[in-house]
A = this chain, B = another copy of it.
């Protein structure tokens, strides 16, 4: 690679935007050149505009960078979008229309027929949906799944490949950071459980079908598995826990399930993408593991932790899965998507045009 890609962050001052900034510090391929946000923040130094919530210091090189208004014309090869869904629809479209590749974490375009909903270790071939997008100027949109969905699908994929999965019951215990900042009020969160997260269960029902679907003739045939989800907010900072029970197409012992998890071969293993963990899932044998506070950061937050594999009295097998919701489930997942697209030539090709367009 000759030079790093110049990247812009849309929604740079928000919680997801900050995570992009944190994760991209020192990235070998990507260099942030644009921090974009709304009018309220534009013109201010990033340090002032962002109420930095991270536990690592705000990167020195960006602390005093001026935040710009999130609109086409900014100087970068592509953009990551950490926008909230209330504005992502329009802004992302505007960027795509202006010829920018948009690697988005927002939900707005996830279920569009020609927009890849992508987990590189699960369905990298779905990137080909980009070819069907018809934005003027060569822009496109690629999305990563909902933060709980990605944990579920990473856990299901090895079982789908090994045995087939027909039905899934999942109850989530989701971290506070999933609601952004300020997000959940402390008076609601402390010592409490909120058994409802708006729109979450619907996403967990719909997105896995697309993610686990089959690309045929440039389209995704959705998988036929049925998912039922119950989503809860718990007083945890980072890391969504999922209690999963599955009905498999072929019978399998817990040992066989364990072997399937541990033996899963990532289809992108040979690419050695910078953000890809050495394995998609890690199995714990200690009965009280994994735990969000102790294990969410496994594999720099990109690995899904599995534990308590055992038979289910109602379906076939049950287990718990843990995913870092703001890394694998948001900014980290989007960065990995961008890395895949570099390797597949989508960013190399379009980046030049974008660069010209914004000149």
What is the interface of chain A, defined by CB distance below 8 A to chain B? 53-57, 167-169, 171, 173, 176-177, 181-196, 198, 205, 226-228, 230, 232, 234-237, 241, 243, 245, 247, 287-295, 297-298, 307-308, 312-315, 318, 320
| CB-defined contacts of A227 to chain B, threshold 8 Å | 313-314
CA distance A284 to B190 in the complex (A): 21
Whether the pair B228, A318 counts as a contact (CB closer than 8 A) is yes
Complex contact B195–A187 (CB within 8 A): no
Residue of B nearest to A170 (CB): B171
Give the number of copies in the complex. Answer: 4
> Known pairs A192-B291, A228-B318. 4 more at Cβ < 8 A?
A168-B314, A173-B234, A184-B186, A188-B291
List B contacts of A226 (CB < 8 A).
Answer: 313-314
Known A-B contacts A183-B187, A195-B320, A196-B308; A243 and B232 likewise in contact (beta carbons under 8 Å): yes
* Pairwise interchain contact B243-A191, C-beta atoms closer than 8 A: no
A-B contact pairs, 5 of them (CB 8 A): A171-B230, A173-B173, A184-B186, A195-B308, A196-B308
Closest 4 CB pairs of A and B: A182-B185, A171-B171, A186-B189, A228-B313
Quick one: given A184-B186, A245-B228, are A55 and B192 in contact (CB under 8 Å)? Answer: no
Give CA–CA (A236, B55) in the complex, Å: 14
- Which of B187, B198, B205, B320 is in CB contact (< 8 Å) with A176? B187
Question: Which residue from chain B places its CB closest to the CB of A237 in the assembled complex?
Answer: B191
Check A232 against B168 for contact (C-beta < 8 Å).
Answer: no
A193 touching B234, Cβ below 8 Å = yes
Partner of A241, one of B183, B193, B198: B193
Closest to A186 in B: B189
The contact of A232 among B228, B241, B287, B313, by CB within 8 Å, is B241
Using A167-B314, A169-B314 as known contacts, say yes or no to A287 and B196 having CB atoms under 8 A apart.
yes
A226 to B205, CA, bound (A): 24
- A318's nearest neighbour on chain B, judged by CB, is B230
Q: Are A288 and B53 in contact (CB under 8 A)?
A: no
Instruction: Write the chain B residue with the least CB distance to A195.
Output: B320
Contact A191 B293 (CB under 8 A): yes
Shortest distance from the beta carbon of A94 to any chain B beta carbon, whole Å: 30
Are A185's CB and B195's CB within 8 A? no
Inside 8 A of A291's CB, which chain B residues have their CB?
Answer: 188, 192-195
Cβ-closest chain B residue relative to A290: B195
Task: For the complex formed, measure the closest distance between the CB of A70 and the CB atoms of chain B, giving whole angstroms.
Answer: 23
Bound complex: CA A205 to CA B313 (Å): 9
Chain B: minimal CB distance from A110 (Å) = 19
